[in-house]
Amino acid sequence: MTKLQEVENGLPGGDAAPRSRSEQQPQQVAEALALLSQDIRESKQAEESLRQSRETLLLSLNELEQRDRDHVALSKLSNYLNSCLTADEACTVITSFAPQLLPSDVGTLYRIGAAGGYLERLASWGDIPSEEKLFALHDCWALRRARLHWIADTRNGLLCQHVAGAAESILPYLCIPLIAHSEMMGLLCLQRLQFASAVPNGSAALESKLELAAALGEAISLALSNLKLRDTLRQQSIRDPLTGLYNRRFLEEYLVHEGVRATRKNRPLSVIMLDIDNFKRFNDTFGHDAGDAILRRMGLLLQGHVRGSDIACRIGGEEFALLLPEAPLSIAFQRAENILETVRRMQVKHGGQVLGAITVSLGVAAFPKHGETPEALIRAADRALYQAKEGGRNKLASA
């Protein structure tokens, strides 16, 4: 017999004396209502538990979907960065993808300056104060410790010196050190991060975002390192190691480019060929180190006689060339005369002694008058150079 049947029969536990139906009815109703109330509570508890489980499952699913989107975006970023040929292209990619991965009102990419010890702004988005363009490496805790530096509240962390002036207006902020092959490349600083205010510090979601930030920093670091290496190898392939001037390979490549440009825009283009007179005598008399000293000095002199668009080259031995885009023959001839006079006054010391008088012979040719192709233009300038040498050296001749 069930408990409900016992109630209806007036025999709870079987010990009570039989009661009249009028006495049994109120108690039966009360106990039935109590059982019904208990059933309702248990049902509501089951529904709440099911709802919480569903919300937890949806939250986990959303987090997984977000992680998947982040990884896809990070993969695209890495792919684009690996295809970049210049730092400017890399900056364009970074400023496009970084706000998607780590939404921030303000972001700045810094790189180590050429002099070292300081960071200079490479790219940015948002409202960046002008005074943040340059700061010392030791002003950033992330760079000092070579790890992420995350601050959501000034009461729970140390502000970096380079953002200390802004304080509350930039929180929460994150500094990501850019390190590749144990070399510090720069810094990515994100301010007013949008996800941080809604996520408790130390939560799994925050840890996931910081892991994403570290992956972002690694991708950017490797890209900057690869670009630096590629640029170094490129410079080694087109630069003369002794003088620092461009070599013949670069002259020929650049002359093709400038020849096409001059033809398309109907602009002038001139070439000056230059050769140090009696250079072998210096080597035989004073030694090859003295000859190298003369070549280095000549490289510095030519660098001082070029405009921003001009190209100075050492094309072999003691022979040099100047490529002058948009310069007509008259301007090139005047430039060559200035170089001739400057060399005549030049003195080079080596080993405590003056190496003696140094002179040069120069030949000038202009496009398209003396040659309509790069090869023809160089040959014309070479012929003019040999005319100057045959005329007694220390001279200037035009094709």
The three-class DSSP label of residue 193 is strand
For 283-300, the pLDDT digits (tens) are 999 999 999 999 999 999
Least confident residue range of 51-55, 174-178, 308-312: 51-55
Average pLDDT over residues 41-48: 77
pLDDT at 353: 87
- Confidence band, pLDDT 50/70/90 cuts, at residue 7: very low
What does the pLDDT read at residue 146?
94
- The tokens describing 295, both together, are 């070549």
| Nearest one of 322, 328, 334 to 367, comparing CA atoms | 328
Supply the pLDDT for residue 331.
93
Answer whether residue 3 shows pLDDT above 60.
Answer: no
Give the residue among 185, 172, 196, 174 at the shortest CA–CA distance from 219. 185
Contact 381/271 with Cβ under 8 angstroms? yes
pLDDT at 169 over 70: yes
Predicted local distance difference test score (pLDDT) of residue 90? 94
| pLDDT at residue number 242 | 95
Instruction: Judge whether residue 2 has pLDDT over 50.
Output: no
Q: How far is CA 347 from CA 200, 354, 359, in A?
A: 71, 7, 10
Quote the tokens at residue 36.
């019904």
pLDDT value of position 153: 83
> Catalytic site residues?
318
Report the pLDDT value the prediction gives residue 184, as an integer from 0 to 100: 93
- Angle, alpha carbons 173-178-181 (nearest 5°): 155
Mean pLDDT of 99-113: 90
SS (H, E, C) 108-134: EEEEECCCCCEEEEEEEECCCCHHHHE
Show the tokens assigned to 342: 């400057």
Burial readout 311-330 (b: 16 or more C-beta within 10 A, e: otherwise): bbbbbeebbbbbbbbbbebe
Residue-wise pLDDT for 56-104, tens only, equals 666 566 666 767 788 888 999 999 999 999 999 999 999 999 998 999 8
Convert the pLDDT of each residue in 231-282 to its tens digit: 888 888 999 999 999 999 999 888 888 888 888 888 899 999 999 999 999 9
| Predicted local confidence at residue 46, as pLDDT | 76
Bridge partner residues of 12 (DSSP): none
Separation CA 121–CA 130 (nearest Å): 10
Helix (H, G, I), strand (E, B) or coil at 386: helix
Give the model's pLDDT for residue 358.
94
**All structural domains of the chain:** 80-237 (3.30.450.40), 248-398 (3.30.70.270)
The pLDDT of residue 226: 93
Mean pLDDT of 153-170: 82
pLDDT of res. 317:
93
Q: State the average pLDDT over residues 114-142.
A: 83
Give the per-residue pLDDT at 312: 95
Predicted confidence (pLDDT) at residue 131 exceeds the cutoff of 60: no
pLDDT: which is higher, 399 or 274: 274
Q: What percent of the chain has pLDDT over 70?
A: 88
Residue 183: the pLDDT is: 92
Distance set, CA 51 to CA 48, 60, 136, 185, 230 (Å): 5, 14, 53, 49, 56
- Sheet strand arrangement including 311-316: 311-316, 319-325, 269-276, 360-367, 396-398
Q: Is the pLDDT of residue 165 over 80?
A: no
Q: What is the pLDDT of residues 315-368, one digit of tens each?
A: 999 999 999 999 999 999 999 999 999 999 998 988 888 888 999 999 999 998
244 vs 307 pLDDT, higher one = 244
| Average predicted confidence (pLDDT) for the chain | 85
